[in-house]
Amino acid sequence: MDGRSELGPVHVPDSELASIVARWLGVCREEVSILGSRWDVVDYDLQAITTAGRYWVSGTAH
């Protein structure tokens, strides 16, 4: 378990997260490993029907 599964419908597994990071960095997916991650709920005063939640996800990749 990657620790982000509690995010429910907005959860992204490590393999998909590594692909996202690879695209951001402009490298091949095979060059990226997710070493760790964490998430925090973003305080947002307005109810939103267009998102499953509002979270900051941060972590470390190699």
> Which positions ≥6 away from 10 have C-beta within 8 Å?
51, 52, 53, 55
What is the structure's pLDDT at 6?
Answer: 77
Count helices and strands in the chain by DSSP H and E runs: 1, 2
Handedness of CA 7, 38, 20, 33 (dihedral sign): negative
pTM: 0.70
What is the structure's pLDDT at 31?
Answer: 95
Residue among 39, 41, 43, 42 at smallest CA distance from 58 = 39
12-54 tens-digit pLDDT: 889 999 999 999 999 999 999 999 988 888 877 766 666 667 7
